[in-house]
Each structure stands twice: as C-alpha cells, then as structure tokens.
Amino acid sequence: MKWKLCIISLLTLVSLRAMADDSIYVKPSSPSRYDRRVNRYRKNWGALIPTLFVFQNAGNMGTLSGGIGWDYGRRKQWETELMFGFVPKHQSHRTKVTMTLKENYLPWSIGMKHGWSIEPLSASFYLNTIFGHEFWKQQPSRYPKGYYKLLSTRVRVNIAIGQHITWQIPQERRHMSRSISLFYEVSTCDWYIVSKVVDWGGIPLRDIVGLSFGVKFQTL
Amino acid sequence: MKKLLILLLFSLVSFSSCDDIFKTHPYDVNFKHPHHINAQQIIRIETDFADSDTLRVAFISDTHGWMTHTKQELDMLNERKDVDFVIHCGDLTDTGMRYEFERARDMLSRLRYPYVALIGNHDFLGTGEEAYEVIWGEKNFSFIAGGVKFVCLDTSALEYDYMAMVPDLDYMEYEATRDSSRFDRTVVVMHVPPSSEEFNKNLRKTFRYYLSLFPNLQFCVFGHNHHTYEEEMYNDGLMFYGVGSAEKHQCRLFTITRNDYEVETLYY
C-alpha cells in the first residue's frame, strides 16, 4: 500500500510537470535592461555592415577605385560610398593613393521584365583626397596670406550625373550579391569648372568633363 | 561570378587607358609626346640663329589659364613674321594640373617660331614640377644664339620653402664659362625677380654677384608681376624688364644687335 501511494504520487508529479511544460501560456520574461542594450548595440553596429561594393574607373579619383557603400532611405534612393583608388606612377616619382567619399541620389527606379530595372538618373557629389607630400589641404604657412587663391591642392570637390542598369539575381542563383548594377557617369571637379568660367570660350567642354564606368554589387 | 568580376575589372582598367574621355586625376603625370620640348627647340634656335648679327626675341609670360588671350597673343606674334624666337617667362598654368599643361603645350605649338618656356611658381603646384620636367625639361637651361647666351633660371625659391639653393648659384657659375668661345654677351631670364617675396631674400646680394660673372650681361627679363615694368633693381645700371601677362595683352620684343639692344612693348 505504501508503495502504491508512492508510485501514484510520483506519476502525478511527473504528469503535472509535463502539463506545465505543455502549457500554451508562458509567462513573458520581460527583457532586462542589459538585453535591450545588447539588442540596440547589435542593431547600431549592424547598420555599419556595408550593403554594397562598388568599383569604378576615372572620375578624377584615380585609374581605378573600389570601395564599400551603404544604401538607405525609404526607397533605398540614397547611397554613401567610401572608395580608395590609385593614380599610377606614369612619368612621376611614385604611385599615389586617393580616397573618395561619395554621396549618390537615385530618385527613380523603373522595373522591367526578368528582374531588370533602370535607374534613369544618378546625381552624385563627392570629395576626393590624394595622398602625398606634394599636395596640401590648406596653403602651407610659408606662403603669405592669400598667396594662392585656391582652396587646396589635395581635396577636389566633384559632381557627377549618370545612369544605372540593375539586374536582380534570382533567389536560386544568388551567390554573393542580391543584385548587380552597371553604371556610367559624367563628372567634373571644382577646378575644372573654375578654369571654364575664367575662360569660357577658350576651354572646350571635353577638357572639363570626364566619363566613368562602374559596377555595383548589392550584397545586403 | 568571379569570372564576371575579373572581366569587369579588366575592362574598367583597359577603358582607363583612353585618356581623352576618362579623367583619371588632375595631378596624374601622364603626358603623350612631345616631351622635353625645350631641348628640341634649343637645337632649332642654335642652328637657325648661330650667326645672326641681329636677334629679335619676343618674351611672353604668365599665360596661366587664359587660353583665349594667349591665342590672341600668339596669333599677333605669328602675324608679325619678324620674330626669331620666343621665350615664355613662366606660369604656364594656374594650378599645375595635367590638363592645364596639355592645353598650354598645345597652345604654344601654334607658334611659327621656335620657343622655350621657363617654369613659374604656379607650375610647381601639386605634381606640376614633375609635369614641367616631362614636357619642357630641366628647370635651369641655357642656349646660345648670335653670340648671346640666354640663361634661363628657376627663381621660385618659396616653392622650395627656401630649403634649396634657388636660384642655383653653382649652375650660374658653370654657365658663366661654359662654351665661352661661342658667346660674348649674356641675357638672363627668370620668372620671379629678385625684388619679389617669392625670391630667396638671403640670396639677393649673392645673386647679383653671380650675375656679374656672366660676360657682358645685357639685361635681365622676368615675369610673375603680370605687368610691363622695368627697374634697375640693384641701382647699378643693370636693367630688369618685367613682361606683362597674357590677360593684360602685353608682351615684349627685344632687338639685340652687336653693340646695343632695343626693347618695345607689344600691345594687341
């Protein structure tokens, strides 16, 4: 009898426990302050993961430049890119490295068949800096004030307009990126514009604008 | 995917070799021929005017980015047909950019006369100094025509932060006696005059001493100040002639004879 009671009470205990596990209602464990902080921390740092990779030639930033970028905005119409490029040695003393911070605005995207789309306008603004002792950000102190009425030989302010064509890679064929865009743009920089303004008739347009081709891989 | 990427990158690089449509960088030192123009032109000058009794030398200066003005200046000289050769006293560009140098080179090639060009302080900016050396050559150079040695000196000392011997006194000393059998008079040309803040103040007196080494120094010519101007800078009879800029539509024409010289200012 004693044994019977013992077994019954044990079974009851086990079944009760099982019932508790099976229960639909689980008391919500509210995230602690620490959990919330970690979530925010992950989300904020996660925003820094580049969403795209970009390569382009010319554009007053070197023979070839490549870098990372982020797209954002409700329709992902804004892009910020950080690129590094190089200017080959050619007839100078050494190869030079350039760095570019570029902001693109792509207001429209027109969808087409088979995952293709066209962005009929891209407007860009970018700052390019070239590394080397022969370039200065500001006129060095050896010169009298306002000696060269220039901003900087190191940093060029550029503007560009262009067009993109994008292919959304089908799910099953995606390997590294979600979509690939090919683009071209026509660009000029502050000093080219100044030289044109100083001598409007004497400087041909082809001297101040340049063409670039590029490719963009959308990874996220 | 990888193949596609490599193909795309390869095509981007090969596209970039078409320099005319693709602008790599304002300070890319990448010039097609002709290179070392001064050396080639000096051969022309030294053969054509070796035995001239009278030399007619036009001096232009500070053409910078004013291509329309420069074109008018060169057309005016070309129309005269009485000039032997032309000396550009420096400041071929505003900021030493590649396309400025190419424009200046192409513009000066319009001249029907042989010409040489000095480096000016603006031509040092960025990679300008390297670009000048590729296109025109050495920054100090000389040539002899009709018994007159023309010594062209880089005097933009401030561009070196006064850390180099500019003007190069050793070069001046060397040129004072080199080929002495072929010349009996000297003309010294520079971009920055000794009176300028761009000139090395510590070398002003020394520079005058080294000038005195040149046999029968006739006069000095300079640019930089953008206006037609003349002064005995050392108050000792040696004349310094300033050449106006292309924008001011002024240049100088010197007629150098065996015993004398004449100078006129050309307006156009």
Asked whether the beta carbons of residue A142 and residue B161 sit closer than 8 angstroms, the reply is yes
Q: Is B13's pLDDT higher than 90? A: no
Please tell me if residue B67 touches chain A, with a CB cutoff of 8 Å.
Answer: yes
Q: What is the pLDDT of residue A30?
A: 86
The residue of B17, B18, B19, B25 whose CB has the most chain A CBs within 10 angstroms, and thus the best one to mutate to test that interface, is: B25
Task: Please list the ranges in chain A whose pLDDT falls under 70.
Answer: 1-3, 5-6, 8-24, 26-27
DSSP string, B93-137: -SS--HHHHHHHHHHHTT-SS-EEE---GGGGTTTHHHHHHHHT-
> How confident is the model over B93-107, as pLDDT tens digits?
999 999 999 999 999
Read off the pLDDT of each residue in B124-146 and give the average, rounded to a whole number.
Answer: 97
Q: What is the pLDDT of residue A19?
A: 55
Read off the pLDDT of each residue in B136-144 and give the average, rounded to a whole number.
Answer: 98
Q: Is B16's pLDDT higher than 60? A: no
- Picking from A60, A92, A191, the nearest residue to B127 by CB comes out as A92
Q: Is B3's pLDDT higher than 70? A: no
Distance from CA of A147 to the nearest CA of B (A): 10
> How confident is the model over B219-238, as pLDDT tens digits?
999 999 999 999 999 999 99
Residue B193 in contact with residue B225, Cβ under 8 Å?
A: yes
Please tell me if residue B34 touches chain A, with a CB cutoff of 8 Å.
Answer: no
Q: What is the pLDDT of residue A91?
A: 96
Q: Chain A partners of B22 at a C-beta cutoff of 8 Å?
A: 57-58, 210-212
Q: Chain A partners of B24 at a C-beta cutoff of 8 Å?
A: 58, 60, 62-63, 87
Residue bearing tokens 């010319």 = A58
> How confident is the model over B21-66, as pLDDT tens digits?
999 999 999 999 999 999 999 999 999 999 999 999 999 999 999 9
Q: Chain B partners of A142 at a C-beta cutoff of 8 Å?
A: 158, 161-162
- Domains of chain A plus CATH, in order, are 51-218 (2.40.160)
Q: What is the pLDDT of residue A25?
A: 73
- Domains of chain B plus CATH, in order, are 24-267 (3.60.21.10)
Please determine, for the modelled complex, whether the ipTM score is greater than 0.85: yes
| Token pair in block for residue B138 | 């050495």
The residue of A63, A174, A208 whose CB has the most chain B CBs within 10 angstroms, and thus the best one to mutate to test that interface, is: A63
- Picking from B23, B126, B130, the nearest residue to A93 by CB comes out as B130
3-state SS, A87-103, equals ECCCCCCCCEEEEEEEE
Q: Strand, helix or coil at B13?
A: helix
Q: Is B255's pLDDT higher than 70? A: yes
> How confident is the model over B180-229, as pLDDT tens digits?
999 999 999 999 999 999 999 999 999 999 999 999 999 999 999 999 99
Asked whether the beta carbons of residue B126 and residue A134 sit closer than 8 angstroms, the reply is yes
Chain A neighbours among B 227-266 (CB < 8 Å)?
A: none
CA atoms of A128 and A158, how far apart (whole Å): 8
Q: What is the pLDDT of residue A4?
A: 72
Read off the pLDDT of each residue in B54-80 and give the average, rounded to a whole number.
Answer: 97
